[in-house]
């Protein structure tokens, strides 16, 4: 038996399954829902309970965590009839860890508050590696008391967790993160393209630059995958394009011109249209290899 709160986890894909698994390891009673049940089977085998919908999962839990794909998915699981906000018990905490829009985060917070629920928009950074290793960076928007309540869960799933402001602030912070990653991914791919054109040994070049100013999280995580020809998703291109488009919309609403972000969105959109939707973000390398970046 455990005195830990019951957690509903909605969305057991590439990252969500690992995150939910850490909660099981920490002895949290877990109820899971995913549109494709087979993706949740490993968690069910380990002791998680199945729910037939996101709303049902929330109805059986003290805390509901969501990690789904797109803002329209977030809207559906939270705000549709029979969804999480409608069915969660009074006093429940709702934590959306999907990268979504600040505006939607505020709408969910307002709808939840009307039912006596509290929310956090708490998107993450760190990709599949961070999810597997429980080293995610978590940026949370919402009330401070809600953050304190969620902190024991964040400590199980991540390494860095910060309360960044009111509802919507977590999503704004994640947009800043994605803008930064967009630039480092372009730098990674173009640096290695230059090294290749100059006839350098790519593995030695990558190793040499790993100790210098060119190093970054993306350089260390995705450089070796590119060199190994591994373009499997740690973070899908289709989801990255979604994020970059949200960032562009938000920056324009703020009156900002961000040409680097615009370039990254244009290149990744080109990769998306060239059957690259289900590649990892390091798949940008293939666009350059085919000469389709210009």
Residue 160: strand pairing partners:
137
Distance CA 215, CA 281 (A): 17
Measured CA to CA, the distance from residue 225 to residue 20 in angstroms comes to 26
Q: What angle do CA 278, 280, 283 make, to 5 degrees?
A: 100
Instruction: Indicate which residue of 174, 196, 238, 242 is catalytic.
Output: 174
| Tokens at 233, concatenated | 């998703």
Joined tokens for residue 53: 């919908």
Which three-class secondary structure state does DSSP give residue 174?
Answer: helix
80: which 2 tokens?
């549709």
User: Would you say the C-alpha torsion 116, 121, 122, 126 has a positive or negative sign?
Assistant: positive
Is 174 catalytic? The answer is yes
Of 249, 257, 291, 260, the C-alpha closest to 274 is 291
Q: Find, among 230, 235, 238, 233, the residue nearest to 277 by Cα.
A: 238
Rounded Cα gap, residues 170 and 73, in angstroms? 18
Query: Is the four-CA dihedral 240, 9, 151, 23 of positive or negative sign?
Result: negative
Please classify residue 70 by burial: count the beta carbons closer than 10 Å to its beta carbon, then call 0-12 exposed, 13-18 middle and 19+ buried: middle
Q: Which residues are catalytic?
A: 174
């Amino acid at each position: 038996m455990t005195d830990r709160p019951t957690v509903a986890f909605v969305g057991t894909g590439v990252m969500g399954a690992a995150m939910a698994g850490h909660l099981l390891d920490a002895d949290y009673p877990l109820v899971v829902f995913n549109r494709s049940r087979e993706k949740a089977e490993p968690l069910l085998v380990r002791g998680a309970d199945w729910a037939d919908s996101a709303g049902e999962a929330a109805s059986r839990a003290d805390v509901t965590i969501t990690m789904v794909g797109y803002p329209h998915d977030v809207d559906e699981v939270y705000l549709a009839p029979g969804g999480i906000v409608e069915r969660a018990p009074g006093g429940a905490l709702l934590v959306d860890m999907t990268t979504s829009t600040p505006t939607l985060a505020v709408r969910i917070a307002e709808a939840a508050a009307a039912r006596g629920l509290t929310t956090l928009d708490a998107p993450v950074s760190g990709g599949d590696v961070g999810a597997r290793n429980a080293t995610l960076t978590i940026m949370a928007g919402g009330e401070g008391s809600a953050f304190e309540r969620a902190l024991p869960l964040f400590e199980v799933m991540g390494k860095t967790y910060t309360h960044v402001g009111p509802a919507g602030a977590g999503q704004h912070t994640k947009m800043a993160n994605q803008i930064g990653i967009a630039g480092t991914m372009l730098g990674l791919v173009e640096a290695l393209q230059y090294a290749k054109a100059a006839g350098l040994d790519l593995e030695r070049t990558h190793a040499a630059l790993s100790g210098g100013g060119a190093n970054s999280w993306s350089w260390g995580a995705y450089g070796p995958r590119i060199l190994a020809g591994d373009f499997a998703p740690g973070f899908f291109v289709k989801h990255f394009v979604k994020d970059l488009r949200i960032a562009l919309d938000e920056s324009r609403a703020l009156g900002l011109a961000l040409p680097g972000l615009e370039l990254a969105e244009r290149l990744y959109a080109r990769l998306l249209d060239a059957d690259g939707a289900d590649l990892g973000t390091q798949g940008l390398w293939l666009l350059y290899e085919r000469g389709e970046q210009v």
